Amino acid sequence: MLTPLAHRRLAAGFTLIEVLVTLVVLMFGLLGTAGLLVRGQRATYEAYQRQQALAIATEIAERMRANSASAAAYAAAAPVATPLGAGIRFNNIGSSIPNCGPGTTCTAAQLADYDTAMWDGLLAGVTEVEVATGFNVGGLANARGCIAGTGAAAIAGVGLTGTVWRVQVAWQGRDATTAPPAGLACGTGQYGAENLRRVVSVDVIGVQ
């Protein structure tokens, strides 16, 4: 028979084992929770990037609609082969590209030049500069912008025909996923693997 002291020692030993088992179970639970948090943050980041890309695509699409007679000039400034986003056209505003800001008078062609230059800056993040450091703090990772015609379309209700111009904004995702479809070629070959390239598009009809 066990003495009262032996009973207490045995009970103390079982208590320590139970504590260790509880800690192990808790550790696995916390690791699972941490994994869910990481995946949630990645999903939130991807959603934010997509939202920013759509906003940037919509920005130039609205400018094209307001200057639809010169829609082809927008596409010529942002071809799929050499997309915008490096900030070069933006840096040329006021020199080789006219400044068509508020209070100025520009032709439709000059306005197209100015609009695409401003879009180039928006893609590059140079319109959101941190004053203290001078670094660009745009919301997209390696953003690129392209505009390409996809064919003719009738404009309902007005008896006109227009070219459908597809505005595309590409950026680099964090994790590999399915590559974009062939019709969205903006940024192809610029992000290493195609399954890291993300693209959104907005269609605009330019009056002919």
Count Cβ atoms below 10 Å from residue 127 Cβ, excluding itself: 15
Check: CB of residue 165 under 8 Å from CB of residue 80.
no
Extract the tokens encoding 35: 């994994």
Residue ranges making up the domain that contains 91: 4-207
Residue pLDDT, tens place only, 83-100:
999 999 999 999 999 999
100-151 pLDDT tens trace: 988 889 999 999 999 999 999 999 987 655 545 565 556 688 999 999 988 7
pTM for this predicted structure: 0.75
d(CA 199, CA 4): 74
Q: Please count the structural domains in the chain.
A: 1
